[in-house]
């Protein structure tokens, strides 16, 4: 399977995999913090970099990773997503202009958060395992395999990139706050 069939298979798998609700919720939260683009881009870099590195390991034969997640893992992911949504709604209803992240949410911490979120999902990421198996079986050279993995990860990142783009459009439309008047 090469060319168009591989392209369509990998694109479909990547679109299914891109609905990583925990990563999307974290990105939406980070877009509400101070330095929204810097923090969100740092998080996405950690997430996608780890996801891509995991794909390389899968393609070259890291076959001991379990494919099916335990049932309790999805309960934890949905619980975290629900908590983030509840906190966001409560904050929005109170009229808060910006989320206030913990002081320890530095850029390296934000990058680490992306790495941890990706690692937590990688072992149980069935679409990615299927994509890696398809790539390994049908693409002969490592260089070409890396290109297909890059395509998969670009499609996988689309919801996060779309969220950042939507935020940018909305931020451009938002009127600038009035300048403070001197005393």
pLDDT score, position 64: 46
Confidence at residue 101, expressed as pLDDT on a 0 to 100 scale: 58
In the prediction, which pLDDT does 99 show? 53
Residue 63, pLDDT score: 45
Weakly modelled stretches of the chain, pLDDT under 50 = 62-65
What pLDDT does residue 46 have? 95
How confident is the model at residue 8, as a pLDDT? 92
Report the pLDDT value the prediction gives residue 33, as an integer from 0 to 100. Answer: 82
Tell me the backbone φ, ψ of residue 143, rounded to 5 degrees. -60, -45
- Note the pLDDT of residue 36: 87
Q: Is 11 exposed, middle or buried (0-12, 13-18, 19+ CB in 10 A)?
A: middle
Q: What is the pLDDT of residue 104?
A: 67
DSSP of 91-104, one letter per residue?
HHHTT-SS----TT
């Amino acid at each position: 399977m090469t060319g168009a069939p591989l392209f369509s298979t990998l694109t479909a798998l990547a679109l299914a995999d891109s609905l990583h609700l925990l990563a999307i919720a974290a990105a939406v939260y980070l877009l509400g913090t101070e330095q929204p683009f810097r923090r969100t881009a740092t998080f996405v870099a950690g997430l996608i970099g780890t996801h891509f590195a995991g794909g390389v390991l899968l393609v070259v034969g890291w076959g001991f990773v379990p494919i099916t997640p335990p049932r309790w893992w999805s309960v934890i992911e949905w619980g975290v997503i629900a908590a983030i949504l509840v906190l966001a709604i409560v904050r929005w209803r109170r009229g808060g202009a910006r989320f206030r992240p913990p002081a320890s949410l530095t850029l390296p911490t934000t990058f680490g958060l992306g790495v941890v979120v990706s690692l937590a999902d990688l072992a149980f990421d069935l679409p990615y395992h299927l994509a890696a198996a398809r790539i390994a079986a049908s693409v002969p050279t490592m260089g070409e395999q890396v290109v297909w993995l890059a395509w998969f990860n670009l499609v996988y990142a689309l919801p996060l990139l779309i969220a950042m783009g939507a935020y940018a459009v909305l931020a451009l439309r938002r009127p600038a706050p009035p300048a403070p008047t001197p005393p």
